[in-house]
Amino acid sequence: MRSMIFGRKTRRASEPGQCDGAALSGLDAHEEHLRSRFDSIAPFTVSAEEEFMLIDPETLALLPGAERVLAIAEGDTRLTGELRASQIETISPICVSVPDLLRELASVRGLLAGRLGDSAWLLAAGTHPLAVEPGPLATGRRYQELAFAHPWAATHTLTCGFHVHVAVGGADRTLAVYNSLRNYLPEFVALAANAPFYRGEDSGLATARPKLNGCWPRVGVPPAFSSWRDLAQFTLWARDGGAFPDESQHWWDLRLNTRHGTIEVRAPDVQTRVEDAATLAALIQSVVVALATRYDAGEDLPVARDERIVENMWLATRDGVGGWLIDLETGERLFTGDRLVALVEELFETARSIGCERELAGVRRLVMDGGGAARQRELYDEDGPQSLVTALAHETVTPVAVGQRDQQGASVRRAVSSAMLDSTVLTRGD
């Protein structure tokens, strides 16, 4: 049994009262700290993080080159590593609107593609469609510690997500919006589903990513918290019991990000097309603003039962936009596509007030074409697995920043023709 977690000995069950005493001693201070983080934030700004894979242009296998990419990035704070040596995460600046966010996301994708050239390709999908093994871990101390504490997840998983941050402003308002936003997680998962293939096979799901992420603790639908004291008490209880160090390891699909003072939606798969990422950000920001407006008007925001949200999450994971969801109150069966289109209509005026109505309208396009999962399956059926990965790499960097040459896109397009001539499944591995 491991005796060290987070650099100190874990307390044993034979030490009665220590965990409770340690947790309670700083409870008031921690609650105040949490409140201050969310009280001091400007409302309704938006930012995002995208997780990408690096792949070999010749073999299409995962390429553990993140350290090299970060080295040539010359200290660009928009780029950072991730758990795997073949993963890169991009971090947008705080934006006042989704159109601004779209420009930032497109810019950093183009920058990465230009610096990589033909040495590596950038791939945006919830999972690598063909890779059998997830590849080596990144060498950073944080990732090594995570792997030590979570050996099964660190050995078996490689997933890429799209995390959207929206500031609400006001601690009480933020907590109320967070609790109610849980109800919309299935819609976000369905619209973003972009991982139907796993280890070269069709998983039968619109996205395998939630099931792979289930190897980690504190994932999926988060608990509702009745107060900031409730959240503080849980965190200190778990910290002093040796479970996790702080709120940064709340890995739920939705969390209160105490570092940035934002609500962070972590449910979506990373989107291959950058315009689809903007559509998801517009939907999320619009829902947050609409809920905050209802709170300001004195409405008690609805907070659904966990088990009902969980059931809808499964339906969204399996079927994406092509299935159905269950009304959280009435139990009525609703086609997911119809539900999403109705939600867009309901949110249109809110979206227009914050300048993202054009991006929100992209929800209809995603519903019509079936989203990323349907597009991946269509590419696979038409041209085979190699062409699928090649096409995804091409879409990842299209469009790029205005005036830049699409170096990855150019090399990918050259590869598409040859890949279509030979759709044999490649031998993969480290």
Angle at 109 between CA 265 and CA 154, to 5 degrees: 55
Q: Contact at 8 Å (CB) between 162 and 280?
A: yes
| 12 in a structural domain | no
Quick one: tokens of 204?
């039968």
| 376 in a structural domain | yes
Q: Contact at 8 Å (CB) between 330 and 247?
A: no
Distance separating alpha carbons of residues 156 and 403, to the nearest angstrom: 40
Task: Please give the backbone phi and psi of residue 10, each rounded to the nearest 5 degrees, phi first.
Answer: -80, 145
Q: What is the model's pLDDT at position 250?
A: 92
Chain Cα centroid distance, residue 52:
11
| 84 in a structural domain | yes
Number of domains in the chain: 1
Distance separating alpha carbons of residues 335 and 187, to the nearest angstrom: 11
Which amino acid belongs to residue 411?
A: S
CATH number at residue 158: 3.30.590.20
| 242 in a structural domain | yes
Q: Is 355 left (phi over 0), alpha (psi -120 to 50) or beta?
A: left
Reduced to 3 states (helix: H, G, I; strand: E, B; else coil), residue 161 is strand
pLDDT in tens, the chain (430 residues): 333 333 333 333 334 334 444 444 589 999 999 999 999 899 999 999 999 999 999 999 999 999 988 888 778 899 999 989 999 999 999 999 999 999 999 999 999 998 898 899 999 999 999 999 998 998 888 889 988 988 998 889 999 999 999 999 999 999 999 999 999 999 999 999 999 999 999 999 999 999 999 999 999 999 999 999 999 999 999 999 999 988 888 989 999 999 999 999 999 999 999 999 999 999 999 999 999 999 999 999 999 999 999 999 999 999 999 999 999 999 999 999 999 999 999 999 999 999 999 999 999 999 999 999 999 999 999 999 999 999 999 999 986 333 333 445 444 444 433 433 333 333 223 3
Distance separating alpha carbons of residues 344 and 332, to the nearest angstrom: 19
Quick one: tokens of 153?
């997840």
Give the domain extent around 237.
20-417
Dmax (CA) of the chain = 68
Q: Contact at 8 Å (CB) between 176 and 182?
A: no
Sign of CA dihedral 92, 93, 96, 102: negative
Which one-letter DSSP state was computed for residue 196? Answer: -
| 428 in a structural domain | no
Which amino acid belongs to residue 360?
A: L
**For the purposes of burial, counting CB atoms within 10 Å of the CB of 222, is it exposed (0-12), middle (13-18) or buried (19 or more)?**
buried
| 230 in a structural domain | yes
What single string gives the DSSP state of each residue in 78-121? TEEE-SBTTEEEEEPPPBSSHHHHHHHHHHHHHHHHHHHTTS-E
Reduced to 3 states (helix: H, G, I; strand: E, B; else coil), residue 418 is helix
| 378 in a structural domain | yes
Helices (H), 128-256: 141-149, 151-156, 171-181, 185-192, 209-213, 228-240
| 430 in a structural domain | no
Distance separating alpha carbons of residues 119 and 71, to the nearest angstrom: 14
Task: Please give the backbone phi and psi of residue 48, each rounded to the nearest 5 degrees, phi first.
Answer: -155, 160
Distance separating alpha carbons of residues 177 and 170, to the nearest angstrom: 11
Distance separating alpha carbons of residues 104 and 358, to the nearest angstrom: 17
Q: Count of CB atoms within 10 A of residue 204's CB?
A: 9
Distance separating alpha carbons of residues 179 and 427, to the nearest angstrom: 46
pTM for the model stands at 0.87
